[in-house]
Amino acid sequence: MGLAGAGLVLLLTGCTSYVTTNVTAFQNWSASDTDRSYTFLRTAQHSDLEESSYEYMVDNALSAYGFQLVEASRAHYGVALAYGVRNDTTVVPQPVFYDTWQGPVWYGGYGGFRGYGYGGFGPPPFGVMGPVAYVNQAYPSFVKGLSIQIVDQKTHAEVYKVNASTTGPDPELLLAMPYLVRSALNNFPMPNGTVIHVSLPVGANGPAPAANTNLSANEAAAAPATMPASSAVAPK
């Protein structure tokens, strides 16, 4: 990400460098499952080096929950990935300061002349600030999304599906993917109908170990331990 992009990230996140991801999850997961072997389900269109890189990230995340990648003929589950980037616009309220200069201001004190004050040239003590208003400023942005679907290979029934998306000024999906994977598989398996927002701090070595997760009111129940971070999927 260039300096301009990084500056916009700071602007859009209130001067705090976080990647905020919106996550929704649906599941019909059996808590008594003992066989977590799986294989990736690929399409001819996406069976390439890019998808292999994303599969590596997902495999690394799933392994923290006891999943094991095996040959398709021996897999209990099939895992399918879908991902992409689309153009969007982010609107940010920006303050506007009005010039209220009214000429010299007479200061009292000991019945004499103390000096001049000129409003509108800057914040006190250099000037008298005018009223503040806000206008909406639009910035180009990009929505990066990841969907992970888990199906039972024997019954072909969908047992878990999670969607994660994040919006930012950088169109590169590869830079966002470690955060999307980590957010999507945070606290697996999440309760059915989960809607959460995960904030991960941006760093040179990728996502930090802890995630700030805000669950909706109906999904406030306790969840399994948070997935540990891995340097193997850290973005550059």
- For 145-171, how does the pLDDT look when each residue is reduced to its tens digit (9 = 90+)? 999 999 999 999 999 999 999 999 989
Mean local confidence (pLDDT), 119-128: 47
With beta carbons less than 8 A apart as the criterion, state whether 31 and 65 touch.
no
Find out whether the peptide bond into 125 is cis, omega within 30 degrees of 0: yes
CB of 17 closer than 8 Å to CB of 10: yes
pLDDT at 87 over 80: yes
Mind listing the pLDDT tens digit for each residue in 11-30? 344 445 889 999 999 999 98
Going by C-beta distance under 8 Å and a sequence separation of 6 or more, which residues neighbour residue 142?
A: 85, 86, 87, 88, 167, 168, 169, 170, 171
Structure tokens at 18: 């976080």
Q: Which SS3 state, helix, strand or coil, does residue 32 take?
A: coil
Contact 128, 119 (CB under 8 A): yes
**DSSP H or E segment with residue 184:** helix 173-184
| Phi-psi map region of 63: left, alpha, beta (phi>0 left; psi -120 to 50 alpha) | alpha
Give the CA dihedral 197, 28, 226, 64, nearest 10 degrees.
Answer: -130
The CATH number of 3-89+141-233 is 3.30.160.670
Q: What confidence tens digit (pLDDT) does each residue in 26-59 have?
A: 999 987 789 999 999 986 655 588 999 999 999 9
Q: Is the pLDDT of residue 102 over 60?
A: no
Count of residues making up the chain: 236
Contact call for residues 215 and 188 (beta carbons, < 8 A): no
- The helix-helix angle for 173-184 and 49-62 (nearest 10°) equals 30
The pTM (predicted TM-score) of the whole model is: 0.66
